[in-house]
Amino acid sequence: MTDHSTGHSPPGHDLPDAGLSAIISERRRLIGLSYRLLGSLADAEDVVQETYARWYAMSPRRREAVASPGAWLSKVAGRICLDVLGSARARRERYVGEWIPEPLPEPERWIGGRPGAAASDPADRITLDESVAMAFLVVLESMTPAERVSLILHDVFRYPFAEVAEITGRTPAACRQLASSARRRIRASTPPAAPAAGRAGVVRNFKQALETGDVDALIGLLDPGAVLTADGGGVVRTVLRPIEGGERIAHAIAELVRRVTGVTLLERTVNGQPGLIAQQDGVTVTVYAFEITGDRIRHIWAVRNPEKLRPWTSA
């Protein structure tokens, strides 16, 4: 497999190793792959640590016999992700309220899969592109694990279907069909996004309207069919079901801001897109991600579950 990235060695394994250069070069790829597949930074880090643990559980002789350590690591990480995805559906059914993928902070806030770690190597950062946009990740949640893995491995990471087949345990032809099905679902669910500058302007105007309590301005910024989805995980108070309709959302969110005092709204990059965070006493309590089409907000995702906000504690 072609190596496309560089990174750090896994913790605790600093001794010389015949495949060490290939091992450390795969860290960013593995974190990025696992996050896109699982929608969780914490789970992605767990997957990568388990992948490295399996590598170092082999004898030095067995490791030296591996022709492509990077391919071996990717295959193991992909299979672990498949297992996690297989059990995730049952966990989501027990989840209180709506489940939203864990929001990804600005690149410098997430280094090498470790929340709060100091910036040390830009190559250790998860590459931000459309495949980590919240709208994209939410659509992935509606797919089967095999569809999701086939699409991400082939379309995002450019793995040949022969290698995707080894990870999923299916034929290359089946993986090609799965990726095609997933691609159609993405196209049907995610309309073309507005230009980046335009999205930032809409979010900025939304922030200003919230701060001034201008309900009419909020309504004007929201698509009539807009949806607000919140995720509190049963840990903090929030709406348990999506709110539909731009006017309903505008009144609900304006009322919330009016009732809650001491909240500061800040513009931040969320999953590579313009977003907002709400802070109380310097602590991030909500992260807002947006899907914007034209000059209107089509979807708002409000993540309030503290477990999903840990990487934002210093944001």
Nearest to 238 by CA among 96, 138, 40: 96
Q: According to the model, what pLDDT value does residue 114 have?
A: 38
- The highest-level CATH class for domain 196-312 is alpha beta
The domain locations on the chain are: 20-189, 196-312
Q: What is the pTM of this model?
A: 0.84
Mean local confidence (pLDDT), 231-242: 94
Q: 42 or 287, which is more confident?
A: 287
Q: According to the model, what pLDDT value does residue 126 have?
A: 63
Percent of the chain surpassing pLDDT 70: 85
State yes or no: pLDDT of 201 exceeds 90: yes
Mean local confidence (pLDDT), 79-89: 91
Q: According to the model, what pLDDT value does residue 107 have?
A: 60
Distances (CA, A) of 309 to 31, 149, 167, 304: 18, 25, 31, 7
Nearest to 174 by CA among 140, 150, 145: 150
Percent of the chain surpassing pLDDT 90: 64
Contacts of residue 190, defined as CB under 8 A and 6 or more positions apart, other chains included, come to 135, 136, 139, 291
Q: According to the model, what pLDDT value does residue 19 have?
A: 54
Mean local confidence (pLDDT), 158-178: 95
Q: What tokens does 83 get?
A: 């297992």
Least confident of 10-19, 49-58, 116-125, 240-249: 116-125
278 and 284 in contact (C-beta within 8 Å)? yes
What is the CB neighbour count within 10 angstroms for residue 89?
Answer: 11
Write out pLDDT tens, residues 6-60. Answer: 333 444 444 445 456 667 778 888 999 999 999 998 899 999 999 999 999 999 9
Q: According to the model, what pLDDT value does residue 22 have?
A: 62
Q: According to the model, what pLDDT value does residue 314 have?
A: 57
Q: What tokens does 95 get?
A: 């989840």
Q: According to the model, what pLDDT value does residue 64 have?
A: 87
Mean local confidence (pLDDT), 133-158: 93
- Do the bridges between strand 222-231 and strand 296-303 make them parallel or antiparallel, or are there none, so unpaired? parallel
Q: According to the model, what pLDDT value does residue 268 have?
A: 95
The mean predicted confidence, pLDDT, of the chain is 85
Q: What tokens does 223 get?
A: 């698509």
